[in-house]
Amino acid sequence: MLLPFLPAIQQGNIKALAGCITLIENQASGSLDLLKALPVSKTPVIGITGPPGVGKSSLVNALTGTFLKQQKKIAILCIDPSSPFHRGALLGDRIRINQWAQHPDVYIRSLASRGSLGGLHPRIFEITDLLKAAPFDYILVETVGIGQSELEIASLADLTLVVLMPGSGDEIQAMKAGMMEIADLFVVNKTDSPGSKQFIKDLQSALYFGTKKTDIIETVATEDKGIGLLTAAIETRLQSIAQKEPQNLTEKAYRLILAGKMKEIDKEDLFKKIHAQMPAGDFNIYRFVENYLSADH
């Protein structure tokens, strides 16, 4: 039973928190009971996403330092690409932000994406909800940076930062189909690079035709430039997160229901049924799936 660990988690016991996260990752017995007992929490979840190489981890590092100066407690989830050998996290982001690893007010956890197309961990909703039960002021979630398929972060985070860096206008055109819409704030990092002014102009032009007003914050994360302005913008935006809550809860419910339905599907049973029907010579996968879904399992 994991339920007895909840009071310890609420009191900030990191060992209890870390152990329960592992058990939730593995869907251990009792994990659902723990999740069902979680209290309502308004701890904001801040998603940090964007293409590879734009400095997301440096930005997380800088934001953490600023929040700590404000005497805040921070949880950081770094979603790393899965190792092709053991399917665990490669721990790259943990290495980059390890200066906070021993800080008493920071909890860092690397999670493997496990091939998730959304760039997140398959149990990310559950793990984030557990973190919200602990006494953190902010939860930062950094995605692996795999392009437009990481749009899932928008359904998890109360506030989504899309991080970019100076480059060609083609990059902006390529991301218009998705990432432009999910950003609550754009962060143009590495603005000490050549071409930064033109890049920001191009981004502003692209946003002009958008459906919502999105601010652009310029930063050089490795030098802490613009981080104060960014934290102020984050706090301002978080004042209106209640408007996004029903939409996020709907997305979360949809995902959890879908995951529950998938548990009912036995792959071995599928194999046996397909193997039995194939000798007839007229096997059609679409007819098979329609019949399977309409059958009472």
Q: What is the pLDDT of residues 232-262, one digit of tens each?
A: 999 999 987 766 778 888 888 888 888 777 7
CA distance 274 to 255: 28
Predicted model pTM = 0.85
What mean pLDDT is reported for the chain? 84
Percent of the chain with pLDDT over 90: 46
Q: How big is the chain, counted in residues?
A: 297
Percent of the chain with pLDDT over 70: 84
- pLDDT the model gives residue 113: 66
pLDDT class of 132 with cuts at 50, 70, 90: very high
Dihedral (C-alpha) 33, 259, 125, 20: value to the nearest 10 degrees?
A: 40
- pLDDT the model gives residue 294: 82
Over residues 157-180, the pLDDT tens digits come to 999 999 999 974 556 666 655 677
- pLDDT the model gives residue 89: 45
Q: Which residue carries 């904001």 as its tokens? A: 44
Q: Using alpha carbons, list the distances in angstroms from residue 55 to 48, 60, 74, 106, 117.
A: 10, 9, 19, 20, 21
The runs of H, that is alpha helices, within 178-284 are 179-182, 196-208, 227-238, 245-263, 267-277
Over residues 103-128, the pLDDT tens digits come to 999 999 988 765 554 557 788 999 99
Straight-line distance from the first to the last Cα atom of the chain, in angstroms, rounded to the nearest whole number: 29
The larger pLDDT score, comparing residue 251 to residue 279, is at 279
Over residues 69-94, the pLDDT tens digits come to 999 999 999 887 654 444 444 445 45
- pLDDT the model gives residue 87: 47
How open is the CA angle 232-119-24, to the nearest 5 degrees?
95
Lowest-confidence region among 130-134, 256-260, 268-272: 256-260
- pLDDT the model gives residue 297: 52
Cβ atoms of 153 and 141 closer than 8 Å = yes
The larger pLDDT score, comparing residue 194 to residue 258, is at 194
- pLDDT the model gives residue 58: 92
- Position 181 pLDDT exceeds 50: yes
Q: What residue segments make up the domains of the chain, in order of their start?
A: 1-38, 40-244, 254-294
Mean pLDDT of 121-148: 87
CATH 3.40.50.300 fits 40-244, yes or no: yes
How open is the CA angle 252-256-261, to the nearest 5 degrees?
150
Q: Which of 185, 163, 203 is CA-nearest to residue 60?
A: 163
